[in-house]
């Protein structure tokens, strides 16, 4: 954006305090500059989809590893394997709300989310070194504990940059990451499990955790330089005018409130108190519980598909098409 544009836009930013409507400034120019800002934000936010894909791959790869000896090598009973899968969600549930409150306090998602990625990637790699039930249980619990930071944190970050009229479509795109992870995760797993058996004396299922965890760590370092912070705190990629517009449009969308964490009734603890007393929040929580329960088969999808009698590689390949179809339908509905 040129200095000339900045000079034209500054009166526009100040006009909100002086006018109830759109009089006194060029609305068409405002819309043009705002559209350019949104496109710029979209480019940076797109990495969230990739991160979400890796987030889901790292939590669901135990199901694929089971096909190539994960349960057998660790001498797990069926009940113990189910517990290993389930314990992740204990840590996940415990950490989501505290994590988002901490993120709001520090105001640095470009650092906080990638650091959490590095930690859960390292935990995923560590899962490949486990030799018994206790080790698998600990790594899965810790994985859920750290992974919990991403999805609510990503939604919070999106809500800081996009107006309500823009947010639903971006949330739909982000949610497609979980669908794509099931599709591409199965394809990646089939390749690793088929090619890496016995390499350096390690079982293929161990390589599955090594490779996918390492990939997460690599992307995390990229995300540090790509992800934005909040409009009020981000630096380095917006001009002062663009940053002022980013803040102004969110203030307008919120009806004049910035949403910053300040002491008193506008603080995050007051917001948390309002949320837990809102009946709509509990209704949405119940709806989400029902939704997640309906997808509980996903942890056993490769095992269920294996009952068709195909080889492990073909079984994993057959796990992909349903999720690809679901992604297409979701993207169509998000239009």
Residue 104 and residue 268 in contact, taking contact as beta carbons nearer than 8 Å: yes
Residue 141, pLDDT score: 96
Three-state secondary-structure class, residue 260? coil
Show me where the domains of the chain are located.
28-241+295-333
Given a contact cutoff of 8 angstroms between Cβ atoms, the answer to whether 158 and 142 are in contact is no
Q: How many residues does the chain have?
A: 335
Residue 272, burial from CB neighbour count under 10 angstroms (0-12, 13-18, 19+):
middle
Residue 262: CB atoms within 10 A of its CB come to 10
Neighbouring C-beta atoms of residue 97, cutoff 10 Å: 14
Work out the angle between the directed axes of helices 27-45 and 240-253 (0-180°, nearest 10): 100
pLDDT of residue 14: 52
Whose structure tokens read 């069926």? 78
pLDDT at 257: 55
Rounded Cα–Cα distance for residues 116 and 143 (Å): 10
End-to-end CA distance of the chain: 29
How much is the pLDDT for 263?
Answer: 42
Predicted local distance difference test score (pLDDT) of residue 267: 65
Select from 130, 133, 153, 157 the least CA-distant residue to 44.
157
**99, two tokens:** 């994590």
pLDDT per 10-residue tile (average), the chain, 335 residues? 46 47 62 91 95 92 90 94 93 92 91 97 96 96 96 94 91 88 84 89 94 97 96 90 91 69 56 86 89 79 85 84 87 78
CATH annotation of 28-241+295-333: 1.20.1250.20
Report DSSP state, residue 229.
-
């Amino acid at each position: 954006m040129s200095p000339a544009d900045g000079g034209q836009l500054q009166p526009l930013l100040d006009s909100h305090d002086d006018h109830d409507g759109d009089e006194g400034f060029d609305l068409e120019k405002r819309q043009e500059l705002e559209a350019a800002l949104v496109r710029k934000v979209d480019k940076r936010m797109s990495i969230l989809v990739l991160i979400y894909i890796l987030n889901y791959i790292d939590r669901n790869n135990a199901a694929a590893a089971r096909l190539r000896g994960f349960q057998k090598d660790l001498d797990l009973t069926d009940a113990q394997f189910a517990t290993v899968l389930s314990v992740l969600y204990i840590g996940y549930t415990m950490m989501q709300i505290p994590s988002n409150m901490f993120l709001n306090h520090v105001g640095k998602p470009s650092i906080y989310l990638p650091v959490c990625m590095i930690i859960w990637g390292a935990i995923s790699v560590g899962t490949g070194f486990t030799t018994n039930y206790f080790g698998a249980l600990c790594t899965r619990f810790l994985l859920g504990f750290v992974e919990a930071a991403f999805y609510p944190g990503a939604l919070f970050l999106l809500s800081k940059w996009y107006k309500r009229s823009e947010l639903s479509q971006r949330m739909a795109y982000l949610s497609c990451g979980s669908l794509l992870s099931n599709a591409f995760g199965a394809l990646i797993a089939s390749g690793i499990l088929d090619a890496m058996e016995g390499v350096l004396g390690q079982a293929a299922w161990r390589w599955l955790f090594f490779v996918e965890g390492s990939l997460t760590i690599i992307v995390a370092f990229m995300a540090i330089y790509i992800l934005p912070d909040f409009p009020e705190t981000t630096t380095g990629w917006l001009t002062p005018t663009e940053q002022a517009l980013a803040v102004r449009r969110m203030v307008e969308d919120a009806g004049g409130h910035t949403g910053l964490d300040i002491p008193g009734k506008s603080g995050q603890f007051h917001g948390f108190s309002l949320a837990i007393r809102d009946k709509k929040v509990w209704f949405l929580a119940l709806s989400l519980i029902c939704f997640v329960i309906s997808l509980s088969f996903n942890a056993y999808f490769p095992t269920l598909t294996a009952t068709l009698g195909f080889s492990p590689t073909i079984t994993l390949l057959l796990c992909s098409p349903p999720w690809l179809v679901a992604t297409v339908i979701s993207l169509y509905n998000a239009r």
